[in-house]
Structure 1
Amino acid sequence: MTADVTPLDRRRAAGAETRQRIVAVAEVLFAANGYDAVGLRDIIREAGINSAAVHYHFGTKEALFLHILRLRAEPIAAARMERLDALRAREPFELRDVIDAFLRPALEQAEPADPPRANYAELRARLSGKHEDTVRQLLAEIFDQSSKAFLDAIRQCLPDLPEADLYYRFHFLLGTMVYTMANPGRIRDLSFGGTDPFDFDEVLSHLVPFIEAGFRAAPLSKPAKRPLRRPAKRGKP
């Protein structure tokens, strides 16, 4: 026999429901209009709640936005590390597999059939031109570990690639990924409907070898010179 629901339980459930509604509404508004164009009043009006509820649960618009970003970004970073760990179990790494393991979780997070996940693609694209310290710090906190791990894996696949080239090409990988997530309709227009940008297996079948070819292109930077070590001074005989 289940215990009776207490007034405290009901308040907690109502509070959790209100919090979820705030997040759902704010995420849609931020994705559609961008951070700067959305005010707390817009969120309050759309969610049908009072202003005290937003301030109670999140405090500020920035805190709410960062909560949403963390909510969508952390599963991507975790999924990447899981996939990389699986690849480590059968080293040596294959570059194509490493790239697929990095890209697939982000593209799957942009699944259009799941609106909250699709909203992340818009949020991420809108962040690509932002330089706010708080957002950069949060993205670094969430993604730095996995990004550094993947950079190391790519480095193992391409040991002769200069460091500058490695970082530039990884940067271009990120840019291509964000655009692919956020603007799938463009390729459909250009191809007159001949492509399906929401079939992520199809997208990855083209994107992964494209990115791999970029990484394998001839180096453009000179290898960094290591500082010469001076011979240790010997004492007088």
Structure 2
Amino acid sequence: MREAILTAAESLFSTHGFNAVSIRDIADEAGANPGSLTYHFKSKDGLLLEIYRRHCGPINRRRSELLAAARRVRDLQDRLEAIVRAYVLPAFSSGSDLAGGGARFTRLRAILSAEGNEVVDRIIAQTFDDTSHAFIDAIHDSLPHLPRTEIVWRSHFLLGALYYALVTPERVSRLSRGRADGTDAPEAIEQLVRATVAALQAPPVDRPEPLRKQTAKA
């Protein structure tokens, strides 16, 4: 019953989001009574946290392993590419909906990230922030001339591209008129890694001088 509730909740959250799904909706989908959900998970928040834990434990461990190997690469260009690949690869590694991957969980993450729910934001931060900081720091070590804030922005865009590549692969196939296959994971990984490395290496954004300095010069 516990597994049935998890599967039902993940399916509903990935389709309708977190806010629109009730405990009764999940119980009905799982063929359970609402009391079973609260018995196993205490609340809808606890259920969502467990969904994240069962997927993100494996993906975070794999990313950490690959990041440790990437940090040992001596050439800075090759190291940067290895770091980005270490982030991207685990998201594509699982073809199922278990153990850190799968389109359903990726869709759930994308939908919930856009909802702006405080509970969801806290769970995402609790699950991913430590790993994200490790990758941002590793990229900064490879591109020390860039402000860390620039790397945070560009890493943020990487996450959005990763979501989109996994959730809507058919768009690539359609817009290429069938010449590219959006479901081709190795090709998607290579395209995403190359595009991200190029974006990370772009010059920092030019910012105007603070207004106070401009006024003083005037």
| TM-score interval (norm. to shorter) | 0.7 to 0.9
Corresponding residue number in structure 2 for 1:188: 173
Question: Is 1:37 the equivalent of 2:20?
Answer: yes
Q: TM-score, normalised by structure 1?
A: 0.78
Distance 1:33 1:119 in 2: 12
Give the secondary-structure state (helix, strand or coil) at the position aligned to 1:220: coil
Q: Which one of the candidate residues 125, 147, 150 is aligned to 1:140?
A: 125
- The ranges of structure 1 where at least 4 consecutive aligned residues each deviate by more than 6 angstroms after the TM superposition are none
SS at match of 1:129: helix
Given the superposition, is the C-alpha separation of residues 134 and 42 from structure 1 closer, same or farther in structure 2, using an over 3 Å criterion? closer
Relative distance call for 1:91 and 1:130 in structure 2 (3 A) is farther
Aligned-pair Cα RMSD in Å? 2.0
TM-score, normalised via structure 2 length = 0.84
User: For 1:202 and 1:78, how far apart are their aligned partners in 2?
Assistant: 24
Count of residues paired in the alignment: 203
Q: Amino acid of the residue matched to residue 5 of structure 2?
A: I
1:154 corresponds to: 139
2:180 counterpart SS class? coil
| Pairing partner for 1:103 from 88, 100, 111 | 88
Q: List runs of 5+ in structure 1 lacking aligned partners.
A: 1-17, 223-237
Aligned sequence identity (%): 37
Cα distance in 2 for residues equivalent to 1:134 and 1:70: 15
Greater Cα radius of gyration, structure 1 or 2:
1
For 1:201, the equivalent position in structure 2 comes to 186
Structure-to-structure mapping, 1:219-230, within 5 angstroms = 219-221=204-206
Hey, which of these two has a bigger chunk of helix by percent? Answer: 2
Superimposed CA distance per residue, residues 96-122 of structure 1 (whole angstroms, 9 cap, x where no aligned partner): 11111111112334x3xx244321111
Q: Is the 8 A contact 1:162 1:221 kept in 2?
A: no
Native 8 Å contact 1:164 1:221 kept in 2: no
Alpha carbons of structure 1 residues 97 and 73: separation in structure 2 relative to 1, 3 Å = same
Paired amino acid for 2:11: V
**Given the superposition, is the C-alpha separation of residues 221 and 170 from structure 1 closer, same or farther in structure 2, using an over 3 Å criterion?**
farther
Gaps of 5+ in 2: 208-218
